[in-house]
Amino acid sequence: MKTNSTSAPIPTQQVKHELRRDVTVWGSFMWGYADVGADIYVALGLVMAYAQGAASLVFAIAGSIYIMIGFAYTELSSAYPVAGGGPYFTLRGLGDFWGFVGGSALLLDYTIDIALFAVGSAGYINFFMPYVIGRTPESFVISIGPLHGINPIWCLESLIIIGILIMVNIRGIKESSVLNSFLGAVDLMAESSVIIFGFLFAWKPEMLASQWKTQFPSMHNFMYGSSLAIISFVGLESISQAAQETKRPASIIPRTSLTLIFTVFIFAVSFSTLGLGVLPWQNFAARMGDPVAMLAHTIPYIGLIAGPLAAILGATILFISSNSGVMSASRLTFSLSQFGIISPWFHAVHPKYHTPVRTIVIFSMIGVIQTILSFLTPSAMDTLGNMYAFGASLGYILVFIALIKLRFSDPYTPRPYKVPLNVNIKYKGRKTSFPILGVIGMLGVGTILFEVVLTHTIGRIAGPSWIILCFMYYVWYRKRDGYPVFGSIKHDWEAEQIEVLTSAEEYDLLEQYKLALAERDKKRKEIK
């Protein structure tokens, strides 16, 4: 078994950072919005079903925690502008084992992304079903023995969408960033129009107050709803994934990601507040498949156009988000294989199309299995949502811990942006900025994880089971190749950071980093 001191470094420098620096300020923002901005299409009805009259409060609480998570990702992504997301930060800050835990949690979320957003996309397609065939999606619901509420048509539609994505990704036809930007811009205008016209012509504050007073949920439902509300903000990984493809990430990422964070927060709270002032929460619970289209359809003057437009946008953007789950799984497994966390076998390419066919098929088929099993439960979207909440909250906790740890273990890397609310403390003779907000954020996400374990029957079983299954593979692979299971392979992070800053053309930061390392080495020689 290899140890930290004797193991050969994994060739991290094989990652070609310099090939992809072409994302602009607008592209960086829309890259994130195309993923994160789509989430309200899925989350609105699902969260309303449990948060009921307190939906606005639940979205606000989850959004506040999301803002702190966004701060953490902004600092880490601008300091370490490399694709890999939370698992990369965790690997760098906490070591190989915890990097594996973060990676397996994120991989769970990516497979859930494939399933959840495919189901959501099909749900918005079904908005048109009454006009096309004269039947509602609910009319196809059947029971099979002890299983009730199964919708085979909706399930089949979702599986067809995933099948299309598998074929598209194997052939190497990827989502276009130009298309993402166009759809994101249209969606941004459409959602803004629904909110503005809705508050002007349809919103009734007395209805909101009445539902708050008479329809406030039980504590169990409040906790359940607040943990599900994190679905409104999935896609935070896109901030760090885009970092490796962004021009001058140190200056662009803080501006675009912070704008994205607050934009999504405002939309989530606005839609829930608008919805409770226009319709009873029960209407949203009954229309989990297309809640935004239903809400838009009820608004005077624009409803006739806004409803179908919201349905088309919802179906299209959620299709792209489902596709991002397929693509991101291959990105993540490639990143993990570069650092010896999983076998490079997963990144084998198709002989004709030169795409990572094994990763695409394996993790997409896991999404297929999750989709089928979820439709055997009373609510497919609820089942998929609470599984996602487990993986996301576990991964975010590790990111916060890595943020704090890296402040101490890597004080030499320049941080163009820092999480707010810091205090200076002495550590090993050096002044270190300790992130108080990082601790608060970690406790906030820990509360969500506690809520998931306490209230989500499926989430607290399926989530840990996935981690255990991945751990069994991790132990087998690391022992087979002679790597430590709980220890770390030796990584040359300093050389990695120099290459990253050079490829990003952040020459000022590169100079600062080299000077900091030189000062450190000088002090070490003086001590000797």
Is position 1 within any domain? no
Rounded Cα–Cα distance for residues 78 and 32 (Å): 15
Residue 73 lies in a domain: yes
What is the rounded CA–CA span in Å between residue 246 and residue 24? 6
In a domain, 4, yes or no: no
Number of structural domains in the chain: 1
DSSP 443: H
Spatial distance between the Cα atoms of 383 and 119, rounded to a whole number of angstroms: 12
Residue 485 tokens read as 């299971």
Q: What pLDDT, on the 0 to 100 scale, is given for residue 242?
A: 58
- Identify whether the C-beta of residue 82 lies closer than 8 Å to the C-beta of residue 253: no
Residue among 293, 329, 85 nearest 194 (CA): 293
Residue 5 lies in a domain: no
Q: Is residue 221 part of a domain?
A: yes
What are the two backbone dihedrals, phi and then psi, of residue 432, each rounded to the nearest 5 degrees? -125, 140
Go through the chain and tell me how many residues it has: 528
- Supply φ then ψ for residue 416, to 5 degrees: -60, -25
CATH number of the domain to which 148 belongs: 1.20.1740.10
CB 128, CB 139: distance < 8 Å? no
Beta-carbon contacts of residue 131 (< 8 Å; ≥ 6 apart)? none
Rg of the chain on CA atoms, in Å: 23
Digit-by-digit pLDDT tens for the chain (528 residues) are 333 433 444 444 444 434 344 555 565 666 666 666 678 898 899 999 999 999 999 999 999 998 999 899 989 988 988 877 889 999 999 999 999 999 999 899 889 989 999 999 999 999 999 888 888 887 888 888 787 778 899 999 999 999 998 888 887 655 555 666 677 778 888 889 999 999 999 999 999 999 999 999 999 999 999 888 887 776 666 656 655 556 677 777 787 778 888 888 898 899 999 999 999 999 999 888 899 999 999 999 999 999 999 999 899 888 888 888 887 787 788 778 888 898 888 877 778 777 778 888 899 999 999 999 999 888 888 888 888 888 889 999 999 999 999 999 999 999 999 999 999 998 877 888 999 999 999 999 999 999 888 888 888 888 899 999 999 999 999 999 999 999 999 889 999 899 888 887 888 899 999 998 998 888 888 776
All residues at 6 or more sequence positions from 176 whose CB lies less than 8 Å from its CB, including other chains: none
Which of 310, 456, 316 has its CA nearest to residue 385? 456
Does 171 fall in a domain?
yes
Looking at residue 142, what DSSP letter applies? E
Task: For residue 6, tell me if it sits in a domain.
Answer: no
Rounded Cα distance, 296 and 308, in Å: 8
Question: If you write DSSP's letter for every residue of 228-296 in order, what string do you get?
Answer: HGGGGGTTTHHHHHHHTTBSSHHHHHHHHHHHHHHHHHHHHHHHHHHHHTTS-HHHHHHTTTSHHHHHH
Is 456 within 8 Å of 389 (Cβ atoms)? yes
Query: Residue 281 is encoded by which pair of tokens?
Result: 């929460």
pLDDT of the residue at 13: 41
Q: Which of 407, 422, 435, 391 is nearest to 237 (CA)?
A: 391
DSSP state of 504: T
| Whole-number Å distance between alpha carbons of 47 and 229 | 6
The answer to whether position 3 is within a domain reads no
Full domain range(s) for residue 210: 12-527
Roughly how many angstroms between the first and final C-alpha of the chain, as a whole number?
32
Q: Give CA–CA dist 136/132, Å, rounded.
A: 10
